[in-house]
């Protein structure tokens, strides 16, 4: 199988779906200039009718995409940086998420929005947001967050074929990562199904996006200390594969959730609440979250780098939950 980068996986998924279905088309800023390398050869293959540059007006082109989806087209909208979704929140929440419900199922919205998570590279407060947690709370939207090129291709192709709106959050820190990908135009990764990236017996780590690779690195280091870590990659946040997470926690009795978004109301918070509600009896230690503090992201590289989850912070959290002993903690507290 050929080795492909994360961005090459994006390119291949879009190209194959446009080739397969004439109703699929792309729109977004700077598509024909191939600014990030995900549309190489698209204009030559499909023409400018199906590869459409848009003005810098997210509310306008996301609204237009919603209308196109409702009359039978299947748009892929490149929103570029995830923070750019904010000007289009009225269209996204009032129209895109609600129309199928409001029209009693008569309207379909097969619409994909691609949103790059640009944190960690000094793009400062207005361009570094990771807004998927707030959009997880909007009924009618599906949310995917691939952590590697293989899942990037398979999930994006499934999203394009889905009849509901799908938000695809792509961690820009993964763009250059490579792995083998099947050269198969029908290779799909189903939405709503997590994967066990590493099996273990002592603690479950549920990690998102680039934090999956960091968690796997931490798990490899801790294996040398005799700690067996199971790493779960949800891949899809809405719908969330709760059963895979719960099954792992019931086996290990411990949970660490690693999420590059802000701590309050994060995906990590939802996963922690899920486990507390449905697997509390299996827990042998408190659930810990490794997240980003509730602060805007500074431009300064040294300041920014300390905010996000890292291999060392993940390993520290794992050591805490594995070393936690209720009796010792009560004695130290004078209970």
Domains and CATH numbers, the chain: 3-180 (3.40.50.970), 195-323 (3.40.50.920)
Q: Quick check: 328 pLDDT over 70?
A: no
Task: State the pLDDT at residue 30.
Answer: 83
* Cα 58 to chain centroid, rounded: 21
Interatomic CA distance for residues 233 and 156, integer angstroms? 16
- Find the DSSP H helices in the chain: 6-20, 42-46, 58-70, 89-90, 99-102, 124-127, 132-136, 149-161, 211-223, 242-252, 267-278, 301-305, 311-323, 326-332
Angle between helices 242-252 and 267-278 (to 10 degrees): 60
Q: Quick check: 197 pLDDT over 90?
A: yes
Percent of the chain with pLDDT over 70: 96
If you average pLDDT over every residue of the chain, what do you get?
Answer: 93
Q: Quick check: 29 pLDDT over 90?
A: no
Q: Quick check: 325 pLDDT over 60?
A: no
Q: Quick check: 316 pLDDT over 70?
A: yes
Catalytic residue among 23, 127, 262, 296: 127
Segment 88-105 shows an average pLDDT of 95
127: annotated active-site residue? yes
Q: Quick check: 327 pLDDT over 60?
A: no
Q: Could you tell me if 259 and 309 are in contact, meaning their C-beta atoms sit under 8 angstroms apart?
A: yes
Q: Quick check: 35 pLDDT over 80?
A: no
Quote the tokens at residue 76: 């892929």
Half-sphere exposure of residue 105: CA atoms within 13 angstroms, side-chain side: 0
Task: State the pLDDT at residue 199.
Answer: 98
Please state whether the predicted TM-score (pTM) of the whole model is above 0.85.
Answer: yes
């Amino acid at each position: 199988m050929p080795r492909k980068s994360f961005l090459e996986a994006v390119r291949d998924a879009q190209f194959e779906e446009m080739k397969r279905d004439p109703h699929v088309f792309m729109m977004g800023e700077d598509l024909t200039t191939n600014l990030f390398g995900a549309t190489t050869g698209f204009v030559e293959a499909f023409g400018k009718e199906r590869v459409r540059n848009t003005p810098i007006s997210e509310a306008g082109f996301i609204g237009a995409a919603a209308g196109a989806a409702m009359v039978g087209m299947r748009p892929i909208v490149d929103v570029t940086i995830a923070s750019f979704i904010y000007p289009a929140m009225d269209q996204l929440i009032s129209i895109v998420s609600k129309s199928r419900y409001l029209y009693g199922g008569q309207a379909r919205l097969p619409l994909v929005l691609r949103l790059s998570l640009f944190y960690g590279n000094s793009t400062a407060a207005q361009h570094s947001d990771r807004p998927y947690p707030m959009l997880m709370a909007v009924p009618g939207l599906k949310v995917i967050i691939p952590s590697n090129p293989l899942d990037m291709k398979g999930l994006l192709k499934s999203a394009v074929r889905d009849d509901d709106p799908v938000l695809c959050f792509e961690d820009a820190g993964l763009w250059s990562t490579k792995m083998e990908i099947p050269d198969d135009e029908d290779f799909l990764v189903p939405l709503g199904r997590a994967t066990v990236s590493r099996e273990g017996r002592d603690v479950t780590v549920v990690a998102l996006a680039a934090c999956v690779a960091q968690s796997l690195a931490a798990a490899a280091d801790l294996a040398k200390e005799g700690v067996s870590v199971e790493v779960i990659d949800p891949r899809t946040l809405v719908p969330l594969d709760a059963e895979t997470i719960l099954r792992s926690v019931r086996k290990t009795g411990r949970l660490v959730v690693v999420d590059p978004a802000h701590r309050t109301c994060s995906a990590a918070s939802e996963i922690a609440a899920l486990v507390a509600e449905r697997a509390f009896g299996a827990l042998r230690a408190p659930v810990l979250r490794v997240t980003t503090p509730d602060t805007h992201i500074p431009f300064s590289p040294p300041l920014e780098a300390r905010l996000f989850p890292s291999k060392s912070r993940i390993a520290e959290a794992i050591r805490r939950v594995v070393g936690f002993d209720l009796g010792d903690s009560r004695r130290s507290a004078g209970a």
